[in-house]
Amino acid sequence: MSKDNNKLIGNLNNDKKNDINFKVKRYSNELEL
């Protein structure tokens, strides 16, 4: 059970990182325009 919970938390953290990376990339792309 705890392993599954750790996996879920890890996936949530990855989603947050990906979301932030996406926003940063989009922001820097807009600056280049």
Report d(CA 22, CA 14) in Å as an integer: 12
| Share of residues in the chain with pLDDT > 90 (%) | 48
Question: What DSSP string runs through 1-33?
Answer: -HHHHHHHHHHHHHHHHHHHHHHHHHHHHHHH-
Report d(CA 25, CA 22) in Å as an integer: 5
- When pLDDT is cut at 50, 70 and 90, the band that residue 33 belongs to is low
Kindly tell me if the per-residue pLDDT of 32 is higher than 80.
no
pLDDT of residue 15: 93
Kindly tell me if the per-residue pLDDT of 23 is higher than 70.
yes
Strands (E), the chain: none
Kindly tell me if the per-residue pLDDT of 1 is higher than 70.
no
